[in-house]
A and B are shown apart, each in its own frame.
Chain A
Amino acid sequence: MPAKRIIACLDVRDGRVVKGVRFEGHVDMGDPADLAVRYRDAGVDELVIYDITASAERRTIDYGWVSEIARHLDIPLCVAGGIRSIEQAVSCLESGADKVSINSPALADPEFITQLSNVAGSQCVVVGVDSRLVEGEWSAFQFTGDAKTIRRTPRRMLDWIVEAAERGAGEIVLNCMDSDGVRNGFDIAQLKEARARLSVPLVASGGAGTADDFVRVFKEADVSGALAAGVFHSGATSVSDVKAALRRAGLEART
């Protein structure tokens, strides 16, 4: 099996990397290209650049900075934020992204997943899912980049990820909103349930606080990758600490 993937996510707002708690109240963390290069050098296995307000503001990601970041990277790059047409997705790939992640637009029009995977191939199509426990059920949320626009959809997360995979998603990133930004560990119970239903790779997102949280999510939820943002930006833990912890626990990490 491949090495367990450690993924750093840069949440970008107005051209700056920011970090919020539970998707609200953002703090400036620096320039996207600078941070991308820093993570590359730190040995991260993959980078996600996420324009957090693009969908909520009904616009798409800036291709100029996709290309500016891609130019410096020798690791895979996934971009996300407001990609709602084939043309926009293709422009991201042609600007140097390896994968595009779609979330709110896929919920609005699930057929978009099918169309995009037919054109670009499933390997380029990631479906991001924001999920929160409501009335005892994990529900998919839409437009989560902004407190004013966020809304619950009628879809159950566990049904939605299966549909997304059947429609051609090559990977699912499950962001567990209840744990996001609070650094109490990944939502193992939720990720395990998701993992048991998928035969495409699953990436865990939301809740990383320590290197041991990564060990737990790989051991207990058997995900392909784990994504984190704030915990790396703030220096609470580092990519190399996480990888050392994985190796100590007998898990494979890329050197």
Chain B
Amino acid sequence: MKVTVIRLGVGNTASVKFALERLGAAVRLTDDPLEISEAERLILPGVGAAAFAMHRMDAIGVRDAIVNFKRPLLGICLGQQLLFEESEEGAVETLGLIGGMVRRLPASIAAPAPHMGWSRLSAVKPDPLLEGVREGDYCYFVHSFACPVNEATLAVSSYSGAFAAAIGMRNIYGCQFHPERSGEPGRRILSNFLALPC
């Protein structure tokens, strides 16, 4: 199993790499547009802030390679948010592979932001990505912005309102939580992603 992880600069890509390696995958970390186009499977990890990540993508010239990718693509955390059309974080236009706008979680003393911790998945849809993941399973989230619930939503979680915890449409997948840090359910999801036909 080969999987390519996009390197966008600063970020905890090592924990994603380690998790994939624990599943026996050969992991390539790259920012090369050609290597990204030719990947069997692609992971867009959560790195920094939305505007920074989009500028970085353009600076290294990988935006088109990601948008035109036809094999399985998984966005993690910020990576999932970038798949949508627009983000309030830096008021930036994002990749536009999934419809909708990513909005800031309202921070208050009653509901501190970022949403940081283990929250349950609900309304889990049957999908190859979530095979073996159960309603109510806990996953680890760290985010200050959240994706809207729409036709692409595969599972919902809730923090100051419902948001898309996992998404899937055509070859495009995403997790708002960190599967690499979400214990057994996370391991399942990464393993399912590696098993998707490509």
Name the distance in Å between B34's Cβ and chain A's nearest Cβ.
24
Task: Assess whether B111 is interfacial by the CB under 8 Å rule.
Answer: yes
User: Which residues does chain A contribute within 8 Å of B111, judged by CB atoms?
Assistant: 1
Name the distance in Å between B194's Cβ and chain A's nearest Cβ.
15
Name the distance in Å between A128's Cβ and chain B's nearest Cβ.
15
Known: A74-B182, A121-B48. A170 touches B109 (CB 8 A): no
Taking a contact as CB atoms under 8 Å apart, the answer to whether A120 and B48 are in contact is yes
Known: A201-B114, A202-B112. A119 touches B48 (CB 8 A): yes
Taking a contact as CB atoms under 8 Å apart, the answer to whether A198 and B109 are in contact is yes
User: Which residues does chain B contribute within 8 Å of A124, judged by CB atoms?
Assistant: 12
User: Which residues does chain A contribute within 8 Å of B107, judged by CB atoms?
Assistant: 199-200
- Interface SS, A side: loop
Taking a contact as CB atoms under 8 Å apart, the answer to whether B13 and A94 are in contact is yes
Stretch at the interface among A8-16, A28-36, A95-103, A141-149: A95-103
Known: A202-B112, A224-B112. A2 touches B10 (CB 8 A): no
Query: How many contacts A-B (CB < 8 Å)?
Result: 116
Task: Assess whether A171 is interfacial by the CB under 8 Å rule.
Answer: yes
Query: Per-residue CB proximity of B21-53 to A under 8 Å, as 1/0?
Result: 110000000000000000000000001110000
A204 to B38, CA, bound (A): 47
Taking a contact as CB atoms under 8 Å apart, the answer to whether A77 and B117 are in contact is no
Taking a contact as CB atoms under 8 Å apart, the answer to whether A120 and B11 are in contact is yes
Q: How large is the interface on A (under 10, 10 to 19, 20 to 34, 35 or more residues)?
A: 35 or more
Task: Assess whether B143 is interfacial by the CB under 8 Å rule.
Answer: yes
Name B7's closest neighbour in chain A (CB-CB).
A94
Among A77, A97, A121, A201, the most chain B Cβ lie within 10 Å of the Cβ of A121
Partner of A76, one of B112, B114, B143, B181: B181
A139 to B151, CA, bound (A): 52
Task: Assess whether A234 is interfacial by the CB under 8 Å rule.
Answer: no
A225 to B13, CA, bound (A): 25
Task: Assess whether A58 is interfacial by the CB under 8 Å rule.
Answer: no
Task: Assess whether A59 is interfacial by the CB under 8 Å rule.
Answer: no
Taking a contact as CB atoms under 8 Å apart, the answer to whether A196 and B144 are in contact is no
Task: Assess whether A27 is interfacial by the CB under 8 Å rule.
Answer: no
Query: Per-residue CB proximity of A119-145 to B under 8 Å, as 1/0?
Result: 111111000000000000000000000
Taking a contact as CB atoms under 8 Å apart, the answer to whether B10 and A90 are in contact is yes
A226 to B142, CA, bound (A): 17
Known: A71-B18, A123-B143. A3 touches B12 (CB 8 A): no
User: Which residues does chain A contribute within 8 Å of B112, judged by CB atoms?
Assistant: 198-202, 224
User: Which residues does chain A contribute within 8 Å of B21, judged by CB atoms?
Assistant: 71
Query: Per-residue CB proximity of B100-130 to A under 8 Å, as 1/0?
Result: 0000000111011111111100000000000
B interface, CB within 8 angstroms of A: 10-15, 18-19, 21-22, 47-49, 78, 107-109, 111-119, 138, 140-144, 159, 178, 180-184, 186-187
